[in-house]
Amino acid sequence: MSVTVSKADGVTVLTLTTDPQSPWPPLCQIFKNLCYSPVCCTVSQHLRSLNRASQTVLGTLQIMIGLLNIGLGSILYSTWNSLYLNYLGFPFWLGALFIMFGTVCVLSEKYPSPCLVILTVILNLAGGAFAITAIALYSINLGDIRSWWNCYEYYNGYNGYNGYNGYGYGRETIRPPSLEEKLLQEKCYEGRAVLVMLLRSISAVMITLSVLELCVVISSAVLGIKALRNKEKGQNKSTDDPELHKPLLEEVTAQPVA
């Protein structure tokens, strides 16, 4: 299967010739040739000059946000203070997605082919949707955090039974908590409050990171779109430049000598 590209008057025409000997259907052959097309997969120096180091910085930020999502999310997951988070496990798959988006951004900077830049733009647009999802999930988790510690286990109000009366044991007697048990209960309440505060602070940090991720993916997508548009403008200017159509040597008419 061969691919022919022709350009005229601002219109690009792709001519695809299918291979009748191939066992694959024509649609699969088209996708195969588009993926392996030199027009699409060749590294463009013009795109490299347009991108510079912007995509690398944005991709590195996305990778760091993804790693923080996994690291801080594992703390939230291990405490079992939110059944909502433990059931969905969203910090882990969101972190993996953010790392993937960042990696593609870095690769598009190192190997700026048109296909990879387009893929980066599409993934970053999808990353914006996932960042909004992360903001919503962490906001719900912020209100769902609670401590499951039972501080009453430090005080046993029952003092056993009051003896055997011939028919069985008597009634249970209740005693007031001792001073040591009261101190343990107060420390338990304080520790539980501190734990809930720390977990909610971590959730607030995750919301902030998700907002930062949203800003980063939008910036990366805008840079990719601008690079592709500037590349098309540069190609149009190069084809329309009259200096390229001037003859290298001008015809000289010899004058007769008198």
Best CA proximity match to 234, nearest among 7, 47, 42: 47
The string of pLDDT tens digits covering residues 64-87 is 999 999 999 999 888 877 778 888
Which structure tokens are listed for 39? Answer: 């027009």
For residue 163, pLDDT beyond 50: no
Q: Tell which wins on pLDDT, 242 or 89.
A: 89
Tokens 């409050």 sit on residue? 193
For residue 251, pLDDT beyond 60: no
Name the burial class of residue 60, with classes exposed (0-12), middle (13-18) and buried (19+) by CB atoms within 10 angstroms of its CB. Answer: middle
Secondary structure tally for the chain: helices H, strands E: 8, 4
The string of pLDDT tens digits covering residues 166-180 is 554 445 556 677 788
Q: Tell which wins on pLDDT, 23 or 212.
A: 212
- 158: which strand partners? 174
DSSP letters, 148-213, are ---GGGG---EEEE--B-SSSB--EEE-PPPHHHHHHHHHHHHHHHHHHHHHHHHHHHHHHHHHHH
The pTM (predicted TM-score) of the whole model is: 0.68
Best CA proximity match to 172, nearest among 187, 186, 157: 157
Rounded Cα distance, 202 and 95, in Å: 15
Torsion of CA 194, 200, 206, 210, to 10 degrees: -160
Best CA proximity match to 181, nearest among 219, 139, 151: 151
Q: Give the pLDDT confidence score for residue 145 in this predicted structure.
A: 81
For 52, what's the count of Cα atoms within 13 Å in the CB-facing half-sphere? 4
Q: Indicate the pLDDT class of residue 144, thresholds 50, 70 and 90.
A: confident
The string of pLDDT tens digits covering residues 118-139 is 899 999 999 999 999 999 999 9
Average pLDDT of span 209-238: 83
End-to-end CA distance of the chain: 66
Which structure tokens are listed for 85? Answer: 């988070």
Average pLDDT of span 176-205: 85
Average pLDDT of span 13-33: 67
In total, the chain counts a number of residues equal to: 258
Average pLDDT of span 111-124: 88
Q: Give the pLDDT confidence score for residue 4 in this predicted structure.
A: 67
Considering the chain, what is the average pLDDT of its residues? 76
For residue 227, pLDDT beyond 70: yes
The string of pLDDT tens digits covering residues 35-68 is 555 556 566 666 666 666 688 899 999 999 999 9
